[in-house]
Amino acid sequence: MSVLLEARGVCRSFGGLDVTRDVNFKLVSGDRVALIGPNGAGKTTLVNLITGDIAPSRGQFWMGDDDITGLSIPERVRRGLVRTFQTTRLFANLTVADNVALAIMQRKRISRRIFSSATELPEVKAEWSEILAHLGLDHLAYRKVIELAYGQQRLIELAIGLALHPKVLLLDEPAAGVPHDEAPKILDAINRLPADIAVLMIEHDMDLVFKFARRVLVLAAGRLIFEGSPADVTADHEVRRAYLGSYADARHSA
């Protein structure tokens, strides 16, 4: 199995506070990994480090044989490192089709063209139609994103992710805020992601984690404290302590 993404000794501190401490992990082709951890464990910081939104204080990220630590966000995306957002970040005033088409055109390196009509280019349209149909969104193609329900917007986040042909896909709480009866749609879409890509999902909902993950990473106080199968995670002493500990802390500070 080829290693697609690797974190080597990644640390990050904010003003003396260590938010990420010596994190090491590898994602290989076909991986389905869940990253869990109590509130404030530094999960979102870790995602932001991976995508290049913030720079690590120490340590590196590698994709294959390349050190990507110094690369900008767009450069990482072009290498196939793609994320979705916990709270949807979409082009709200554009249509659903435009949102996906922009991602496709960016991937195909045709988004600098200045004299052809954008979303309706045949090769682009064929692709966004297929992605939207795949996610059951085809009837909404020409609606503005801002007019859609939240669950539908979450699916568009996934649609954009798919359109970028990721090698590594980071899903930041893909089902957060989605009405309960729509959550299976999200899981269904995730299960149908291309088999060879590596998916790292940050999730609170343990139901979803068990259905999705073949490997679980547990982050607590910025440190990876567990790596193993979903079956073992609930039995692990340190994981239980981390969760209980955080609850105890929360009650103290409340």
Q: How many residues bind another protein (CB under 8 A)?
A: 43
Minimal distance in Å, beta carbon 125 to another protein?
Answer: 9
Our finding on whether 167 is near another protein (CB under 8 A) is no
Report H helices in 52-139. Answer: 73-78, 96-107, 122-134
Our finding on whether 132 is near another protein (CB under 8 A) is no
Binding range to another protein, per CB under 8 A, among 80-88, 127-135, 204-212, 232-240: 80-88
Our finding on whether 97 is near another protein (CB under 8 A) is yes
What is the separation of C-alpha 208 from the centre of its chain, rounded to a whole number of angstroms? 14
Of 55 and 92, the one with the shorter C-beta distance to another protein is: 92
Any idea what DSSP says for residue 144?
B
CA–CA dist 189, 183 (Å, integer)? 10
Both tokens of 167, joined, read 């090698």
Q: Give the Å distances, CA to CA, from 91 to 96, 102, 144, 152.
A: 9, 10, 9, 14
Of 156 and 183, the one with the shorter C-beta distance to another protein is: 156
Q: Which of 98, 173, 203, 205 binds another protein (CB under 8 A)?
A: 98
Binding range to another protein, per CB under 8 A, among 75-83, 132-140, 223-231, 235-243: 75-83
Q: Which of 15, 16, 65, 114 binds another protein (CB under 8 A)?
A: 114
Our finding on whether 220 is near another protein (CB under 8 A) is no
Pairing mode, strands 81-84 and 66-67: unpaired
Q: Which of 117, 231, 252, 254 binds another protein (CB under 8 A)?
A: 117
CA–CA dist 227, 219 (Å, integer)? 9
CA–CA dist 231, 155 (Å, integer)? 28
CA–CA dist 136, 132 (Å, integer)? 6
Q: Which of 16, 115, 235, 254 binds another protein (CB under 8 A)?
A: 115
Q: Which of 9, 64, 74, 194 binds another protein (CB under 8 A)?
A: 74
CA–CA dist 140, 98 (Å, integer)? 11
Both tokens of 187, joined, read 């899981």
Pairing mode, strands 3-14 and 58-63: antiparallel
Of 123 and 207, the one with the shorter C-beta distance to another protein is: 123
Our finding on whether 172 is near another protein (CB under 8 A) is no
Where does this chain bind another protein (CB under 8 A)?
A: 51, 53, 72-74, 77-78, 82-83, 85, 89-95, 97-99, 101-103, 105-107, 110-121, 142, 144, 147, 160, 164
